[in-house]
Chains A and B, each alone.
Chain A
């Protein structure tokens, strides 16, 4: 979405001259070029990743049972480590396919964050701020990417959340909030008109006339904002790009390669969205809050991740998109190094002090581990990474200036990522 709100009065008048054929007409393109030229002036050139796929493991996956196994430790658990395509890097035996991709991935094993309750931790990892801090409603990384990387004449929202709500755009406003796809197999809610195309077009034609005459009478800037938004929504409904939401266009071979389920379908949809240039997609896989029955659950979830994510990485590679697509696998925290004593099938509890995440593609140098935990996986001994360190890394990879100030509606400057942030050197170089 382009930032019409930020245009001054004169620009708005120019806009109207340029769109004399109507806000729903094709003449927007002339103006879009002006906007694009302006946007390019401020856009940093560094950063390889044009898109980011955030694979969100909702509930907090156990690091000791996924990417930071500790055989021989007290709470080692049942799983065995296996060798991967990156020499010296071992991961869980339940990621056999993903293991082949470790030479393309970086494991961050030194994550250490302050929040141990689900919603607050999710907020912290999505925004880099603590919920409620300073009375500001902070935007998520997806909303920031949506604002910073918005493309001219792009008919789709720049931020799509699949299978979960993700986090909103905070003070940046609903323009940058994610388009939510609840069930990827069913596509986007409300994308299809209630009436036939002929009837819909008739309606939109009349709406256009009404908008013009209302603006003619009242001249208020917000009327343009409204009209442009409707224009873009209609354009999206009619665009070929919106077909990216239609998984039935994929062959059954491709669909079965990803496996079945909302998350697996979501990964496939994410690939389709990256192909048409959506900058930020979040796909959620829930169920990682394994206080009980940790090992059966994690084994099962790992299987789904293994199939879908390896298929995704393969697809992106074959389409030469992996270099420009940052893929992140993470949750809101790790889980306790010790196994609890709840019931017959014990589990692990919340643990934000030391945990792991995985990054691949988007210019991330693969085959490396960053950070090290102690032999129990309880303390980060080397390469501690905070939420803001991580988010500044993501921004740098995507060419977003994380030191920039955004301004809240009441005029307060708020940095994209808070001051203490240091991007991970081994990743951004």
Chain B
């Protein structure tokens, strides 16, 4: 590293009062002048920009792991929920059946329905702790990481045209590994926010490529890792919460010196892309321009103090240290509230990125204790999932009782969730042996974002907005048409196989139900299906009709 460069960078910073970020102001009034200023700034940056090494006082604070006993802590959650139900004079629905449980927990943890064989094995098992064992087993499946990567890529990688050349697969790989290896969440987020280097060696660098402008990064970090929506404060003080423009741009400063390579050029040349933090604000008009609303202020932690950071000192580690510190209440709350949403169909605080309004939620004290446990466990995600799935509240039937039909808020019966597009695709694929082949794009107009495989395309076709609730059924006519009529989902050959392998009609019907619903038919259902088969000329045809009906029914698409 060239000393003269370091000094000139330092001097540059000192000259401007020690706060590097005062080095430029952006005036949106006159675009011409704005462009000129940006150009000059970029030119200067070419001389002075260089990579920076983080200081020791910006390192992550490690937390020792002191997790509670899973059953004991699950009991604590239940007692809070139970007392709230008593207050509201609600009676809980009974515990769900083993069949309901294995389907529910398999979809929730591994993102796919269980096979018929696995269901039988589980139902027949005699151990009293077999549900806890199953939860542990599912958490060790690599599909846990796949499912979490489906949940998280939607959060970290906006589906925007700007990202069509950003290699999503790398981020997905990183997410899978992070969740499967159960990397402590504070470590994962610290690494994610401070990443430097190219996307081949540091796959998480894709996060910065997918949010290339400082405002996108600021919005995303506060929304995803703190559960706060501060984006309105970008242009004016927040209308609903207390956030000011100063808070917003104070936080944004931490990302001002991040430089990313050009993903389009890299994709063209087959190169990895670089992400680095350098000594000056340098923004490329094409790759990651400064937004018009940008304000240059001192860097400031959200709701916290201002900092002075010199030019040769990278800013992101300070932010990451503060964000992942056990002192930061939002960090743990944001994560456990998201996990709660995944497993219970609604957050403790709703919407999940509205932690400003925790006191208005139904169970504010519940979020406090669950978040505390997450911190105490050393940010152990699998531990938290284990706890949530071991609660009585999670294991209740979704069938309402007379007394609790209308309840949506107090966990008296389990919420009826709708499969995510990924869960639906993987479950259908398991039934009809659908291969997730690569699909050629039909030109730019047909392919607005990275969607290279059949699964990607399917997900794009079925996807709603990122902030849809897990209980909302969002598909429209085109999606129903595809499920009913697309030849890839033709159930015929599978139905034939089941018909041939079953020695009795009853056995065949049971296998069809187990394959799709993960349960045996009721006596009434069996009777109805037998009548249906009797009325149909060919048994294999009748079997394929039944399988089609099961695959297209609510009970299949929903997580009961």
Contact = CB atoms under 8 A, between A and B. Distances in A.
Given A134-B232, A179-B478, A118 B541 contact: no
Interface residues of A, number: 71
B545 A202 contact: yes
A180 B478 contact: yes
Interface string B217-240: 001100100000101101000000
Contacts of B1: none
A9 to B, nearest CB: 7
Interface string B538-553: 0001000110111011
* B477, B481, B487, B541 — most chain A CB neighbours (10 Å): B477
B189 to A, nearest CB: 19
A230 B351 contact: no
B549 A210 contact: yes
Contacts of A344: none
Interface stretch (A84-92, A189-197, A364-372, A379-387): A189-197
A280 B63 CA distance: 57
A193 B489 CA distance: 12
Interface string B338-369: 00000000000001011000000000000000
Interface in B494-532: 525, 528, 532
Nearest to A160: B478
A165 B448 contact: yes
A137 B473 contact: no
B450 interface: no
Give the dominant DSSP class at A's interface: helix
A192 B465 contact: no
Contact of A207 (B478, B490, B552): B552
Nearest to A146: B476
Contacts of A190: 478, 481-482, 484-486
* B399, B463, B476, B485 — most chain A CB neighbours (10 Å): B476
Interface string A211-235: 1011101111011011101101110
B517 to A, nearest CB: 10
Contacts of A429: none
B464 interface: yes
A339 interface: no
A214 B477 contact: no
B552 A165 contact: no
B482 A229 contact: no
Nearest to A179: B478
Contacts of B328: none
B410 interface: no
A190 B479 CA distance: 9
Interface stretch (A295-303, A390-398, A407-415): A407-415
A170 interface: yes
Contacts of A199: 541, 545
Contact of A1 (B219, B476, B541): B476
Nearest to B398: A218
A409 B468 CA distance: 6
Contacts of A409: 351, 465, 467-469, 472
Contact of B446 (A164, A177, A411): A164
Interface string A157-180: 100000011000011111111011
23 contacts: A58-B445, A118-B444, A119-B162, A120-B161, A132-B213, A165-B446, A173-B464, A174-B463, A174-B475, A177-B478, A190-B478, A191-B485, A193-B485, A206-B549, A214-B554, A218-B416, A223-B558, A225-B472, A229-B475, A232-B480, A236-B477, A237-B485, A409-B472
Interface of A: 1, 5, 9, 58, 117-120, 122-123, 131-132, 134-135, 137, 156-157, 164-165, 170-177, 179-180, 182, 188-194, 199, 202-203, 206-207, 209-211, 213-215, 217-220, 222-223, 225-227, 229-230, 232-234, 236-237, 284, 286, 408-412
Given A1-B477, A157-B478, A218-B400, 15 more contacts: A119-B164, A123-B161, A132-B160, A171-B465, A175-B476, A177-B476, A202-B536, A206-B545, A206-B546, A207-B553, A220-B398, A222-B471, A233-B477, A236-B481, A412-B229
